[in-house]
Amino acid sequence: MAKRFTDTDKWKKGFIRNLPTKYKLLWLYILDDCNHAGVWETDFEVASIRIGSKISEKEAIKHFASQIRIFDDGERWFVPKFIEFQYGELNANSRPHQAVIKLIDKYDLYSIKGVNVTEISDSDKPVLKRFKKPSMEELELYCQERQNKVDVFKFFNFYESNGWKVGKNPMKDWKASIRTWESNSINKTQTKEGKLQSQINAWQGAKDIIKQQLNK
């Protein structure tokens, strides 16, 4: 089930206000029933059943003439403002827009006013970087650069054994994973130091109590 934007001001516009009731319903039905490029496969018999009132194709064309473009011998209607309202200017680099652009290509709708597509040159297209696992030397150099205490051998063997995944997902950035291990290592060290200091304080406290008792 597709979810679409709706124009809450449509009832104030002259085009909608001046339509007979059943053609108001037909127009809303077309906007719901058209595909995501705003192309409606005309079927007035089904439309009449769903609206609950007999629809005349000739009357519909007369009422909607300013809002539609008819092609394929009347088998399809195109609503140019549908694309503009739902998507704004189409961007060939946007995944949601690509399916719409395919339909525009299919029906050759570029000549119609209101259909604008921003073409993306190859240099502007995002480059998907494939993950390349680091060598031991790269790991050692990066850890030296950061002056951390990450066990490089342990790090490499851990991710080598699980297929270089972080949780259930493939690793994207091994340097980010090193930094995570670095942070975890610091936290563990601080925790250990904190526990050791607590033990020392407890021991010192016990020692002081014993000394006080012996001096009584």
Greater confidence (181 vs 203) lies with: 181
Dihedral (CA of 79, 80, 85, 86) sign: positive
Residue with tokens 């670095």: 182
* Burial class of residue 12 (count of CB atoms within 10 Å of its CB; 0-12, 13-18, 19+): exposed
Other C-beta atoms lying within 10 Å of the C-beta of residue 155: 18
Q: What percent of the chain has pLDDT over 70?
A: 75
Q: Is 42 exposed, middle or buried (0-12, 13-18, 19+ CB in 10 A)?
A: middle
Mark whether 207 and 155 lie in a shared domain.
yes
The reply to whether 174 and 74 lie within a common domain is no
Q: How far apart are CA 206 and CA 212, in angstroms?
A: 10
Structure tokens at 54: 């007999």
Residue 21 counted as domain residue: yes
**Do 169 and 68 share a structural domain?**
no
Residue 108: what residue type? Answer: D
Name the pLDDT band for 14 (thresholds 50, 70, 90).
very high
Q: How many residues does the chain have?
A: 216
Per the model's pLDDT, the better-predicted residue between 204 and 27 turns out to be: 27
**Stretch 76-84: mean pLDDT, rounded?**
90
Total tally of structural domains belonging to the chain: 2
DSSP characters over 20-60: -HHHHHHHHHHHHHS-TTSEEE--HHHHHHHHTS---HHHH
Please check whether residue 129 lies inside any domain of the structure: no
In the predicted structure, residue 122 carries a pLDDT above the cut 50: no
Torsion over CA: 148, 153, 156, 161 (sign): negative
Q: What is the mean pLDDT of residues 82-97?
A: 85
Q: Is the pTM of this model over 0.85?
A: no
**Domain end among 70, 93, 122:** 122
Question: What residue numbers bound the domain in which 168 lies?
Answer: 136-215
Question: Which amino acid makes up residue 159?
Answer: Y
Q: Which residues contact 91 (CB under 8 A, 6 or more apart)?
A: 97, 117, 118, 120
